[in-house]
Structure 1
């Protein structure tokens, strides 16, 4: 719900392997993998690590185009939402 509240045009794009979020018909700006037998969720942001303002350094590079965040039960969701919002804003321009 917090991701959908980032803007009026956000669409949910579920697949067999992940749930993605997209600003309209554009490319996904974040997607979540729910891994079996794991106690965390993997979030992939479509923004390079060096473009992200992650002063807590909780993210790591993902391939050559994105950033990965591991979300655990005790993770600070408010802070993670600031990172997701940065990816969303990048894809609006």
Structure 2
């Protein structure tokens, strides 16, 4: 009995070994896809700057809700769903109704 307690008293050594350093992933900078057309790759910085300008101007007007019932009733109030819509939802959208 004493031998079993001594064997189990040591720290557990996991069998799996991870390669490399453990740390947060590096932040990636946005860049064009290598297969993107040449004109898109050349204008990529302009496209990104327009996107960030749009997001910052819209960001002040967008309301965020932590719970669905905090949103206006028209956005979450239930409505009648037809039998065909229910079948389409349950089939994963694989049916043509």
Using structure 2 for the length normalisation, give the TM-score: 0.18
Using structure 1 for the length normalisation, give the TM-score: 0.18
Query: Whose relative contact order is higher, 1 or 2, with alpha carbons under 8 Å and at least 6 apart?
Result: 1
* Greater fraction of residues in strand: 1
* Greater fraction of residues in helix: 2
